[in-house]
Structure 1
Amino acid sequence: MTLDARWTQVLREEFAADIRALADAYPDERSLYIPVRELAVTDTRLASDIPRQPERSQEAAEAALHDIELPERNVPLGLANVRFTDLPASETFTVGGFSPADTMSRLIDVEGQITKRTEVNPKLQLGAFSCLRCETLTRVTQPPSGMMREPNECAGCELQGPFRLKEAQSEWTNHQKIRLQQPPEQAQGETENIDVHVSGDLAGDDAIEGGTRVTVTGRVTPVYNKGKVVWKKQLIGQAVTTEEDSFAEIDTDAYAEEIETIRTHPNTARLLVSEFAPGHAGDEHIKLALLLQLFGGWARESDGGRYYRGDSHIYLLGDPGTDKTGLLERAYELSPRGAITDGTGSSAPASPQRSRRTRFRMSSGRSTPARSS
């Protein structure tokens, strides 16, 4: 059985419901997501080929998807994409936790936190170039990132240009670049990061928000570095999966009695303070301050028009050995989406750095991201 035939069989037998759902939402949604671990249960060979040969696997899967007919919906899926997610544990890494040389051109999962994102811009996907000598159009598929690729020679007069890009006759797609870095609690010294290029319906996706912890499925590719033998690395993103909040899955009904006990207690604050880091004796005022910070205030405006954000910031000072870290770690354990970091490798609050576009830019130092609600 050919590769295309195997993909056709798997899609029809295992992902029929997903394909029908895609057809119902098409063309507003254009991507069929295939979890590789789920695929491995049905076809181990197809699943094992995906990390090693991602482009070949995607081309075969998309060819099979485009050929599938849905008579009851009569919706051709000729422009639909296949995106792989949920790779095996052996192909899952943190930012900076993989060898670029060993994973080059492979599809991997990278876990990290989005720190920067560009706006969504048009990206040239298939360039139509007109020869300035004979006006013949030559079409050239463009790379996922980097410099525009022109024809080597004209398809008409067979001369090497010059050429002019015809924007209206070219094919375009959406593009966005994001920066993924280690979460603060994983960073040792300087924080590592990697740039990720996403395109198509993935650009501008709701999952791509600053501060969000995500798993990016992408292909590791090198970035040409001006003739040097040491190149930079990047990811050509194929899918972005938001890290699910464990607290969102908590069954609050199971804790109804405890919540009611706390609510009806004559001194709720004292009760919570006694349960906050019970192994730490004393310092009730510090525990209360940390608890109040965890609950947070509320934004309000006074009668005089002054605005209060309701945010609380604590600067905790003390002698060595007084368990300041223990108190902060306890607050981190209790805080949804919390993050904890120390000063190791921290820079100044802001420092000037060279920029490719401008002579200098200001770069912020290490700080703990705000907790989003």
Structure 2
Amino acid sequence: MLNTYRYLEILYSAADAVLDTLEKGGNESSDAAPVQNLEMLSTVINPIDELREGRMKQNKLPVYLRANFEIMIIPGESETIMKMKSVNADCVGSLSLIEVDVTRIGNVKPRIRIATYECDNCHNHSYKAVEGPTFMPITDCVNCISTKNAKGTLKFHPKLSKFEKYQELRVQEPLVHLSDGELPKSLKCEVSGELTQQLKPGDSVLLYGILLPVTQNTYTTHKFVLLADKVFKILYIKQLKKSADKGIKMHSDLARKIEELKSDPEVYERLAYSIAPEIYGHEDVKKALLLQLIGGCTREKNDGGFIRGNIHILLLGDPGVAKSQLLKKVSAISTRGVYTTGKGSSSTGLTAGIIKDSSTGETVLEGGALVLADSGLCCIDEFDKMDDYDRSAIYEVMEQQTVSIAKAGHCSSMSARSAVLAAANPVNGVYDVKKSVFVNMNLPAALLTRFDLQFLLLDRPDKNADAKLAEHVVGVLRGTTDENSGVDTSYEAVEIDVMRAYIALAKEFEPKMTQDIVDRASEWYISRRSEELQDDIYNGDRCTYTTPRSMLAVLRISQALARLRFSEAITMSDFEEAVRLTEQMKNSLTEALKERRAKKKTHPSSQIFHILRRMRDGMRRKLHWDGWLDVADLERQVVSTGLKSKHLREFIDTYKQLDVVYMGNNDTQIAFREDIIIDGV
């Protein structure tokens, strides 16, 4: 339909005629259904509205302006969904069905459709139909001029005027429809009547409506009278998501490829390899990213709370280990993937902000990257470059999955059920193995514990690994994929469309966990906490922390693995793989620190110093300790580690000269300098 508004006027006239027929001859009709519908309609309509509509009808005002009912046009199943870039001048005046993401929502306002005026002299009512954005009010009473040849003054009568609910919003082209480097298009929309207050920022919807031109006012500017702004008049709204993957359409070829993947015993490894085939290595990282795309199951509790199912991942490490490339690849695969950088993002840009409308001067709420990625994935590169204030804005999103804002009179909470994938570099550019992870990354513990998985990617010299990496890079640059090219071709890569469809189907499953899984998870959690406590006692520092969030992370990863198999139950193999990924993550964080410890312990003096410090820490727990330790006890512990007595004598001579330790009681006791000074010796 190229003239949709005219067809709407005809539909309103036809519906009004049907209602008149039912109202006049309803009691004589043999069909009871229309009469019941008419009676139901009469109970809904306000008597004042009915009186006003009757008077306007007598004055022959347009039906579509005065009617007390609304006509909604619903698209058919075969209607073609258009991309926003295709909605151009050829679509003006015709019905269009477009898929969009809502970015900004305005306030609901009353918009006048028919203005009613009352004369001060004769009390006659005059009406003015308003069909555009502006109108000229009536000032003179026609009845007084024609009957009394006098000029009567008209006053606006709001009670008898016809208003409708009106709301403006701005939508954006879905990111999945964009090619690399393309900027998303935005479009101003207007909605009225019962369709208002149905959308919020971050919603992914299908809009059915009419594209209309809005020309510039000629009395404000003479330069742009030939140009017109676009506005989309919405007639029907269909929500696309509780999940962002609901809009994927299955066809026969896609269904066949998914069935082949389901029957493949190596589907886990193959899909992980397909995330970024041109990036060499990082097998466990790719598996974790695949499970992040699938996610776990969100559990809603009876008290209104919930346990999130999204998996958050943090990639740490040296520059040049393909962290940014992995983020961009995963963002492209996700149906609602948003990619941003830390330095180019503020707290408002990540969560939500208050925007002042230049035309009306009012403030409206606009969602940020995390809101636009609702039920999707938000990738944040250069995470370490963000200011602490901006970085703290995502704390609520990562755990509560909402964005709360209280600014400029707006106090609301928006859904931000997005998984977070972040990448960060060390503080000084290169990871220092002499320092712990927390010192290298300079990130607060409250933020690190919110990430389910943290992988440390280091660029370490290794002859064999470097040779394979060089062959792979050269083969990728040459564009060859044969066996002699050096390119890793362990598995056949899966197309992105197939991966999206497979992940969408996997998200429909809600796997349950058995009591065996619960018991095994409790055992793992208790043993892991005990190991970390012992590591803290004997080594003096702790590399990683296992918190209750860590146990929930393992269970979420287990659910994602069960979903990957299209299973309704979590098996022990799923849990063991989740534990393996978690332990691999912890090993990547602790391996560098263990190397530092090993280097420290290679020299006998360093080992003896460590033993002496451990003995001192144990004695400090006792009451009335004078700060001295027996040399005989120290010698027994030194010999038990494989060292000799001469190493102990060399240690004592060296550290006595440095005034680190003191000897007492005829060299039978040893003490640290600070211990005996504190005790006043």
Instruction: Tell me the amino acid that sits aligned with residue 32 of structure 2.
Output: E
Which residue is equivalent to 1:216? Answer: 208
- Of stretches 108-117 and 64-73 in structure 1, the one that deviates more from structure 2 is 64-73
Structure 1, unpaired ranges of 5+:
1-49, 263-269, 301-306
For 1:113, the aligned partner's letter is D
- The reply to whether residue 120 of structure 1 matches residue 70 of structure 2 is no
For 2:156, the aligned partner's letter is: L
Partners of 2:172 and 2:79 in 1: CA distance: 20
- In structure 2, what is the Cα distance between the partners aligned to 1:112 and 1:122? 26
Query: 2:118 is paired with a residue of what secondary structure?
Result: strand
Query: Is residue 201–residue 366 contact of structure 2 (8 Å, CA) maintained in 1?
Result: no
The alignment partner of 1:240 has SS state of: strand
Amino acid in structure 2 at the alignment position of 1:338: R
**CA shift digits 1:236-283 (9 cap, x unpaired):** 222223347146989xxx999998999xxxxxxx97355313445521
Query: Residue in 2 aligned with 1:176?
Result: 167
Distance 1:277 1:219, change over 3 A: same
Alignment of 1:223-372 (within 5 A): 223-225=215-217, 227-228=220-221, 229=225, 230-243=227-240, 245-246=246-247, 272-273=268-269, 275-278=271-274, 279=277, 281-296=280-295, 312=312, 314=314, 322=322, 325=325, 328-329=328-329, 332-333=332-333, 335=334, 337-340=335-338, 349=346, 355-356=357-358, 358=361, 369-372=372-375
Contact 2:273 2:283 in 1 (8 A): no
Taking the TM superposition and a 5 Å limit, the aligned residue runs for 1:94-113 are 94-100=83-89, 102-113=90-101
Deviates more, 1:235-244 or 1:356-365: 356-365
Task: Report the number of matched residues.
Answer: 302
Shift of 1:341: 5.0
Distance 1:313 1:129 in 2: 64
191, 194, 197: which is aligned to 1:201?
Answer: 194
In structure 2, the residue matched to 1:47 is none
Asked if the contact 2:80/2:97 (under 8 Å) is kept, the reply is: yes
Question: For the structure 1 residues 246 and 198, does the alpha-carbon distance in structure 2 shift closer, same or farther, using more than 3 Å as the test?
Answer: closer
Q: Which residue of 1 aligns with 2:10?
A: 60
The aligned residue for residue 142 of structure 1 is 130
In 2, the alpha carbon distance for the partners of 1:56 and 1:246 equals: 32
How much does 1:222 deviate?
Answer: 0.5
In 1, are the aligned partners of 2:201 and 2:372 still within 8 Å (CA)?
no
The farther-off stretch of 69-78 and 356-365 is 356-365
Higher helix share: 2
Deviation, structure 1 residue 114: 1.4
User: Retained in 1: the 8 A contact 2:331–2:338?
Assistant: no
Deviation per CA, 1:63-97: give whole Å up to 9, x if none. Answer: 22344458331123774433334489999643343
Contact 1:129/1:150 (CA < 8 Å) preserved in 2? Answer: no
Q: How has the CA–CA distance of structure 1 residues 210 and 56 changed in structure 2, closer, same or farther, with 3 Å as cutoff?
A: same
Q: Map residues 72-83 of structure 1 onto 2, 5 A cutoff.
A: 72-73=32-33, 74=35, 75-76=37-38, 79-83=68-72
2:32 counterpart SS class: coil
1:154 aligns with 2:146: no
What amino acid is the match of 2:336?
G
Moved more, 233-242 or 278-287: 278-287
More displaced 10-residue stretch of structure 1: 289-298 or 117-126: 289-298
By how many angstroms is 1:290 displaced?
1.6
* Counterpart secondary structure, 2:71: strand
| Aligned partners of 1:175 and 1:197 also within 8 Å | yes
Q: Percent identity?
A: 16
CA distance in 2, matches of 1:208, 1:365: 12
C-alpha deviation, 1:298, in angstroms: 7.3
Q: Aligned partners of 2:152 and 2:100: how far apart in 1?
A: 44
Partner of 2:392: none
Q: Structure 2 counterpart of 1:212, which letter?
A: S
Are the equivalent residues in 2 in contact too, given 1:316–1:324 (CA < 8 A)? no
Q: CA deviation at 1:358?
A: 5.0
Amino acid at match of 1:272: Y
> How many Å apart are 1:361 and its aligned residue?
9.2
Superposition CA RMSD, Å: 4.9
Aligned equivalent of 2:155: 164
Alpha-carbon distance in structure 2 between the residues aligned to 1:285 and 1:332: 20
Answer yes or no: is the 8 Å Cα contact 1:341–1:368 preserved in 2.
no
> Aligned partners of 1:318 and 1:347: how far apart in 2?
21
Query: Which ranges of structure 2 fall in alignment gaps of 5 or more residues?
Result: 23-28, 42-66, 300-305, 376-416, 418-681
The two structures have a TM-score, normalised by structure 2, of 0.36
Give me the whole-angstrom Cα distance separating, in 2, the residues matched to 1:191 and 1:242.
20
Partner amino acid, structure 2, of 1:203: T
One-letter amino acid of the structure 1 residue matched with residue 141 of structure 2: C
Q: TM-score, normalised by structure 1?
A: 0.60
State whether residues 222 and 233 of structure 1, in contact with CA within 8 Å, keep that contact through their aligned partners in structure 2.
Answer: yes
Residues 197 and 235 in structure 1, CA contact (< 8 A), matched pair in contact too: yes
Distance 1:246 1:64, change over 3 A: same
